[in-house]
Amino acid sequence: MQVLSVASECAPLVKTGGLADVTGALPGALKGGGVRMRTLLPGYAAVMPALQDPVAVEHFDDLFGGPATLFEAHAKGLDLLVIDAPHLYGRPGNPYSGPDGRDWPDNPERFAALSWVGAHVAAHGAGGWRPQVLHGHDWQAGFMTEYLRGFGAGDVRTVLTIHNIAFTGATDRTRIDALRLDPWRFHPEGYEFYGAVSALKAGLMGADALTTVSPSYAEELMTPEFGMGLDGVMRRRQGVLTGILNGIDDAMWNPATDPAIIRYDDPADKRHAKAALQTELGLPQAAGPLCVIVSRMTHQKGLDLVLETLPDLLAQGGQLAVLGSGDPGLEEAFRQAARDPNVAVRIGYDEAFSHRLIAGGDAILVPSRFEPCGLTQMYGLRYGTVPVVALTGGLADTVIPASPAALAQGVATGIQFAPVTAGALRSALARLGTLYRDPDTWSRLQRNAMAQPVGWSRSAQAYADLYATLTHRG
């Protein structure tokens, strides 16, 4: 089975969030099951120098405004096709925005080009290779189904995975020509979305199969509360939608082998990692739990609720250590909060520090207003760092709440709260304190968490089955 994954980011080469973790881990996870997944990536300035043995397999005289070359290459264990198009991707900053944090105004064209090349490879092949399945991720790959239709490659099957429906890639209809779209398909059955052009809508309508990253988020997407205006489309396409839970890279996230931390494989030894973290951050010893957060700082993540309930956490002897960046208002509010000696905040992006935080914390807080899957609560599980999560999306699917029954049966792995309000988080933190002060219960919770399977094997099989079903259907 040959699959081309079309992605705007892919770890460890280029990452802004969980999307990259998934597109980076899936090819390796699928290998054993007879699926070869190659990944089509834009040749960002940071990506091109990392390529090993690049071989040019295709040239485009005019790829959305300039010449481009498609390279076959390897990097960091990934089997890649990379679009070298300096006019689109040879810029500083992250995949979507410049150093000033503002999105590039030509993002619709930049990722239309990614989708167009994906469809081109699926229809015509590249370097003598052609996939049976074209698997795109999020809005950046949405137009692939439109272009594939234009190329007339009816034998290729398409899958679109929704990692976050909040980003739709919507743009103005005056760009239809520039985006190389068929103007006759600007209608509700095509890529039109409330009078605008939407890459995500195009893919949602056109793909043979849709997946999203947890079963609960698949359900939620069909509701007005979470569907971001696309809930009607999701309800229409319910028959082809499945929720496949993300896994984590359990080799990279393994407390017994992690080179970034003081290693442990028993929760009793976790105290060394905690002491090291407290020393690193200048936090004193404390009676209550050390709570950690590793997160983008956006409204979605509910971090304002943490600020609101912080006095309650501190009053019970708890501590807070935060790593994240994003919304300037939230960044500043956390900086202010760090004046308290029991609060430490680091604004920025730091892989190694994120490992030390998750290893050293007693609990990890993920109070998201919505969360398609979420990865950090799974890192928490693997490290015996008890997740305290909102009851939504993938957080609901990965954490078994410490109800009296679940504790009695020995299956509880964390704490869930609903609704996503400061009041409910406050109660969850009180519950956390109670559990933490009961050492037997606490260590049982940690052991259950660490024993929970959070790797890729089950989900990789689900993707492999999906590809097989699609291609056998013919």
Q: Which residues bind ligand ADP (CB under 6 A)?
A: 17-18, 21, 294-296, 323-325, 349-351, 354, 373-376
Task: Give least dist CB 375 to ligand ADP, A.
Answer: 4
Residue closer to ligand ADP, measured from CB, 158 or 416: 416
Strand partners, 161: 137, 211
Rounded to a whole number of angstroms, the minimum distance from the CB of residue 362 to ligand ADP is 18
Closest residue to ligand ADP, judged by C-beta, is 18
Which residue in 324, 319, 271 sits closest to 293, CA to CA? Answer: 324
Decide whether 374 or 384 has the Cβ nearer to ligand ADP. 374
Structure tokens belonging to residue 200: 């995500």
Q: CA neighbours within 13 Å on the CB side: how many for 317? A: 11
Taking the complex as a whole, the smallest distance from the CB of residue 231 to ligand ADP amounts, in Å, to: 20
Q: Judge if the upstream peptide bond of residue 99 is cis by omega within 30 degrees of 0.
A: no
Nearer to ligand ADP, 64 or 253 (CB): 253
Owner of token pair 């940690």: 446
**Identity of the residue, 325 or 452, whose beta carbon is nearer to ligand ADP in the bound complex:** 325
Contact partners, residue 160, CB within 8 Å, separation at least 6: 135, 136, 137, 141, 142, 144, 145, 203, 204, 207, 209, 210, 211
Contacts of residue 214, Cβ cutoff 8 Å, sequence gap at least 6: 243, 244, 245, 246, 372, 373, 393, 394, 396, 397, 398
For ligand ADP, the closer CB: 115 or 354? 354
Confirm whether residue 301 is marked as ligand binding: no
Q: Which is nearer to ligand ADP, 70 or 364 (CB)?
A: 364
Query: How far apart are the C-alpha atoms of 222 and 302, rounded to whole Å?
Result: 22
What is the side-by-side order of every strand in the sheet holding 192-193?
170-171, 196-198, 192-193
User: Nearest CA to 321 among 381, 351, 280?
Assistant: 280
Q: Positive or negative CA dihedral for 196, 372, 333, 354?
A: negative
- C-beta closer to ligand ADP: residue 312 or 350: 350
At its nearest, how many Å lie between ligand ADP and the CB of residue 213? 8
Q: Which 8-state DSSP code applies to residue 174? A: G
Q: Tell me, what DSSP letter sits at residue 457? A: H
Contact in structure between 114 and 42 (CB atoms under 8 Å): yes
Please, are residues 146 and 118 in contact by the beta-carbon 8 Å criterion?
Answer: no
CB of 167 to ligand ADP, least distance (A): 10
- Residues 319, 288 contacting (CB under 8 angstroms): yes
In the complex, the smallest distance separating the C-beta of residue 428 from ligand ADP, rounded to whole angstroms, is 19
- Least Å from the CB of residue 354 to ligand ADP: 4
Q: Which is nearer to ligand ADP, 295 or 413 (by Cβ)?
A: 295
- Nearest distance, CB of residue 84 and ligand ADP, angstroms: 27
In the complex with ligand ADP, the residue whose CB is nearer, 315 or 352, is 352
- What are the tokens at 384? 């015996």
Q: Residue 424 CB: number of other CB atoms within 10 A? A: 18
- HEC string of 244-313 equals CCCCCCCCCCCCCCCCCCCCCCCHHHHHHHHHHHHHHHCCCCCCCCEEEEEEEECHHHCHHHHHHHHHHH
Feature table: binding site: 15
Binding residues for ADP-alpha-D-glucose: 15
